[in-house]
Amino acid sequence: MNDYLIGVLSNIGVISFIALSAYVLLLTGEISFGQQAFFAIGAYAAGVATALWGWPLAMAILLGAAIGAAAAVLVGVPTLRLHGLYFAIATLAFAEMVRILFELFRYQVLVDGEWVGPNGADGFRNIRYIFENDIDSFHFMLLIYAVLVATLVGFMLLERSRFGVIFRMIGEDETLAGLQGISVARHKVLAAGIAGALAGLGGGLYAHLTTYVEPRNFDVMLGVHSLAYGLIGGLGTAFGPLLGVLIDIGLLEAIRAVAGYRMIIFGGLVALLLIVRPRGLLDETVVHRISQAWRLIAPRT
């Protein structure tokens, strides 16, 4: 497998985490343009933990996920009182605030005679854990997908659990959910925490994949794309956002004839699907039909 293909597949894997992050909030009926903030927080936290503090990779990535979750909960408590456009604008404002803060953030330590760490707008270089520990790009890609598979298994369990049902009930009609005794605010904050943890997890993997991050990596377009992946791929299953990532990064970027027009094609695709399939390609109806077909086939195999 050549380096280019490994790079593309690895990028698909890490971006899938921020796509899933936005998907969790979409389930509860909230549109967020700010999940890139928690992606950035996870990237910087995990990078600092390995490059400056000498932590093992697993602990560093878990730290990024934990701080991403905590930040999301802190933001979610006040902002989830807002609805619709107001909530979307609030998340966008928070993400831009985080990006600007990272442009001002400087924290460097002398490592082997070289200053290492976040350096404001110049970014955070030399996050070299995987190279210093002889982890090649192929094996790191396998690690990314192992974590992604574990995450998807978690989603399968979540969607079959009481919490998964409640999230969808709130997304359908939060007033009706409240009348049935469901604490809407508490479950929305829980969803925000899960979303923040997923974005932070992906950010930690992203920082170690690229070995270098800077504030402009986490601009508004990353947030817009993370939201669009779920809207394209579908909201009926956690595999929907992954399908959206595959279409954008895997297909449109891979076809060199259209690579220069990728943003135009992607934007047009989003607009078209919002009209003809507002819940995406893998919406609840399609997922239900697939499940029924599987039940008919499975006993015979």
How do the pLDDT tens digits run along the chain, 301 residues long?
688 889 989 999 999 999 999 999 999 999 999 999 999 999 999 999 999 999 999 999 999 999 999 999 999 888 877 777 888 899 999 999 999 999 999 999 988 888 899 999 999 999 999 999 999 999 999 999 999 999 999 999 998 899 999 999 999 988 899 888 899 989 999 999 999 999 999 999 999 999 999 999 999 999 999 999 998 999 999 999 999 999 888 877 767 666 677 778 888 888 888 888 888 888 888 888 888 887 778 665 4
213 forms beta bridges with 124
Residue 110's pLDDT is what? 85
Backbone angles phi, psi at 118, to 5 degrees: -60, 135
DSSP state of 248: I
Closest CA to 222 of 39, 90, 75: 39
Closest CA to 106 of 128, 123, 84: 123
d(CA 1, CA 81): 48
Q: Dump pLDDT digits (tens) for 157-209.
A: 998 899 999 999 999 988 899 888 899 989 999 999 999 999 999 999 999 99
Give me the helix-helix angle, 35-51 and 184-210, nearest 10°.
Answer: 50
User: What is the reported pTM?
Assistant: 0.94
* Alpha helices for the chain (secondary structure H): 3-27, 35-51, 57-79, 84-104, 129-132, 137-160, 162-172, 174-179, 184-210, 220-233, 239-245, 256-259, 262-276, 284-297
